[in-house]
Amino acid sequence: MRVLVVAGEASGDAHAAKVVRHLVARGDRVLAVGGEQLAAAGATLVAHIDALSVLGFVEVWARLPRLLALYRKLQALLRGGELDLFLPVDFPGLNLRLAATARRAGVPVLYYVGPQVWAWGAGRLQRLQQCVDHVALILPFEPALYARSGVPASFVGHPLLDDPEERERGTEVDLGLFPGSRPQEVRRHLPVLLDAALLLCRKHPSLRLLVSRAPTAPAAWMGAELQARGFDAATVLESAPAARLMRRARALFVASGTATLEAALAERPFAVLYRTGWVNYALARRLVRVPHIALANLVAGEGVVREFIQQEASPAALAVEMERLLFDVAARQQQLAGLSQVRARLGTAGASARVAELAARLGSRQAAAVVS
């Protein structure tokens, strides 16, 4: 098969790479928009993930000319008559539009990591009805929503369960900070996290700290922020996979996103923060319909971990929560019990292989039709 994969952020790059390894092993040719993990899996990158690394309504407008150029390039690929399958991975702002182009061009569409219709309402379900052949879902509460809408979909389990449960070698630490992967969110989250950690370190001078740096995060800027607060960037800042780093810490603070599920699977007490611009926040409050922002809480169906949003994410408030997670034994045990339920509800390992099998079915039919 000839497959186009489009992943718009670090987590999508990681999830897509696991599927692409199966496809490449079959002898399929994969073109992709992605990052280092998709490239390492054997995909040929037509654009790097950095081209799509924007967060929020305002930032998209600032990068619109570059995004439009990439959009037109991908449209041309889909219309070129040489593809057997389009495999969009999450990132619905771009991928739903590309899926519509693929449908008009006669290219089957297997959407992996279904758009968050539970957060954004029924509008995206209607669009999916019109432009996808199948949706591979990774969250256990999603199939019922898709079934009611008539969109062909199946729950494949969560791809994080396919990762080996390894711990990065290194010194054990008390607190791990995970400010996100996109440059914009890192710049909003890291200063407040470090200010909170500094407050805590003054009270507990022996506290050991770890700060995770995603491949797409600004390394020099992060180092400077650490140094400005008296932390040794050379020993504190680490760029290993987040899931491995999490297992080295006794407690975590995590930016909202896939990392909250990684923290749940690492079985470490944690809290969640999220900060964005006020325009983005005001728009999101009007559009998003969910009781929690953390995926771990949504999967659990209750507030297992505390969430600190916008002004609630102050250094003083975060420091208090950090101390509770580290030193309140009863609170730690209660949260760990809740997190075990998250793991149980995410399905079983093998999501990537299941998606590759779905891709083979859809794409091989298209390839056979072209040959005949």
pLDDT in tens, 308-324: 999 899 999 999 999 99
Contact yes or no for 302/335 (Cβ under 8 A): no
CATH assignment of 2-157+350-371, given 3.60.15.10, 3.30.530.20, 3.30.1330.40, 3.40.50.2000?
Answer: 3.40.50.2000
d(CA 19, CA 21): 5
d(CA 102, CA 195): 47
Q: For residue 275, what are its two tokens?
A: 């900060």
Considering only CA atoms, give the Rg of the chain.
Answer: 21
Per-residue pLDDT of the chain (372 residues; tens, 9 = 90+): 999 999 988 889 999 999 999 999 999 999 999 999 999 999 999 999 876 765 544 556 666 788 888 999 999 999 999 999 999 999 988 999 999 999 999 999 999 998 877 666 666 788 898 999 999 999 998 898 888 888 999 999 999 999 877 666 678 999 999 999 888 899 999 999 999 999 999 999 999 999 999 888 899 999 999 999 999 999 999 998 899 999 999 999 999 988 999 999 999 999 999 998 766 656 556 555 666 878 999 999 899 999 999 989 999 999 999 999 999 999 999 999 999 989 889 989 999 999 999 999 998 765 555 444
d(CA 124, CA 46): 27
pLDDT digits (tens, 9 = 90+) for 165-210: 766 667 899 999 999 988 889 999 999 999 999 999 999 999 999 9
Contact yes or no for 149/125 (Cβ under 8 A): yes
Rounded to 10 degrees, what is the CA torsion of 198, 195, 54, 220? -50
Question: Where does the chain hold its CATH 3.40.50.2000 domain(s)?
Answer: 2-157+350-371, 173-345
For residue 55, which of 259, 284, 231 has the smallest C-alpha distance? 284
d(CA 365, CA 57): 38
**50: DSSP letter:** G
d(CA 362, CA 367): 9
Q: For residue 360, what are its two tokens?
A: 């083979």
Contact yes or no for 113/139 (Cβ under 8 A): no
Report the 10 Å Cβ neighbour count for 260: 28
- Nearest-5° angle of CA 224, CA 270, CA 331? 135
d(CA 279, CA 57): 8
Contact yes or no for 74/4 (Cβ under 8 A): yes
Size (the chain), residues: 372
Contact yes or no for 213/219 (Cβ under 8 A): yes
The structure's pTM equals: 0.82
Strands in 2-7's sheet, in edge-to-edge order, are 44-48, 29-34, 2-7, 85-89, 110-112, 134-137, 153-155
Q: Which helix (H) or strand (E) holds 48?
A: strand 44-48
- Residues 6+ positions from 48 with CB-CB distance below 8 Å: 33, 34, 35
Q: For residue 28, what are its two tokens?
A: 């399929």
Angle between helix 183-203 and helix 315-327 axes, rounded to 10 deg: 60
Q: How far is CA 332 from CA 74, 79, 208, 212, 329, in A?
A: 47, 54, 18, 22, 5
- Residues 6+ positions from 148 with CB-CB distance below 8 Å: none
The class of domain 173-345 in CATH terms is: alpha beta
